[in-house]
Amino acid sequence: METAKLIFDFLGPDPTEMRQFIHDVWPENPDANVLDLASGNGDHLFGFIDKPVASVTVVDNSEEALRLLLERHSNHKQLISPICADLGTWACDRKYDVVHMGDNSIQMFASYKDQFNIIKTMASCLSDKGFGLLNVTPVTERQIMEYCVEPKRITTVKNGGETVEVFGQIKVDVFNQDLIMYFSISRDGIEEGRSTCRCRMLLKHEIEEMVKAAGLKVVQVRHRKLKRGNDSYYYLLQLNQ
């Protein structure tokens, strides 16, 4: 089982629900050249790839995720251009009509500076009338309390005669706004792997500060209460000109 998949599923929003959310907030434009930042394996791309768009450029630093994305969206492959790059250093050399960063990915960038750099990248890639779509889905207090205590079983997979169990735990450092997720995988009761994912919990007022400092403005904030209890937000951004 892929670690990225577990991280995605652990406290993250349900992909089907989020696809619908993206679908609903999508700024319709059949001529749009779209940029999807931290696209992953394309789960959330299902939220808009069936919309009429001119092209979709996807950027992620995982070759494996991009390979999967192209495989899953092979029926749209003429529309999709993949770029394997680290968004911390990637410089965009053209303008896009829609720049999307979904799935709370911004919180996977572990410092204020890194998160601000992503917003600046969004601004630098946007065309004059283009829209930035930024999703933030904070974890709930209940999730923090529930997962902070001790490792909790996230899933059990029975494969032939084998039982694979995945455990997760989170630790929160409120002063640094850090949320660290720990995972361990056991096969037939024997631990065989561990991994960690560090997130920085982005606060609402910080989003507004960063957006403004990057030369953008919040045009609208769309909200959806997810089944899992989380509040998910899409910020619709435009250049402040």
Ligand X SMILES: C[S@@+](CC[C@H](N)C(=O)[O-])C[C@H]1O[C@@H](n2cnc3c(N)ncnc32)[C@H](O)[C@@H]1O
Q: At closest approach, how far in Å is the CB of 78 from ligand X?
A: 20
Q: At closest approach, how far in Å is the CB of 11 from ligand X?
A: 11
Q: Which is closer to ligand X, CB of 118 or CB of 207?
A: 118
For ligand X, the binding residues in 91-130 under the rule CB under 6 A are 102-103, 105, 108
Give the span between the Cα atoms of 204 and 99, in whole angstroms. Answer: 20
Backbone angles phi, psi at 204, to 5 degrees: -55, -45
CB 233 within 8 A of CB 135: yes
Q: At closest approach, how far in Å is the CB of 94 from ligand X?
A: 18
Q: What is the per-residue binding string for ligand X in 15-44, x denoting contact by CB under 6 A? A: -----------------------xxxxxxx
Spell out the residues 6+ positions from residue 216 whose beta carbon is closer than 8 angstroms to its own: 119, 122, 123, 126, 132, 237, 238, 239, 240
Q: Report the 3 state secondary structure along 162-185.
A: EEEEEEEEEEEECCCCEEEEEEEE
Backbone φ/ψ region at 60: left (φ over 0), alpha (ψ -120 to 50), beta: beta
Q: At closest approach, how far in Å is the CB of 18 from ligand X?
A: 8
Q: Which is closer to ligand X, CB of 88 or CB of 193?
A: 88
For ligand X, the binding residues in 43-82 under the rule CB under 6 A are 43-44, 60-62, 65
For binding to ligand X (CB under 6 A), which residues are involved? Answer: 4, 8, 38-44, 60-62, 65, 86-88, 102-103, 105, 108
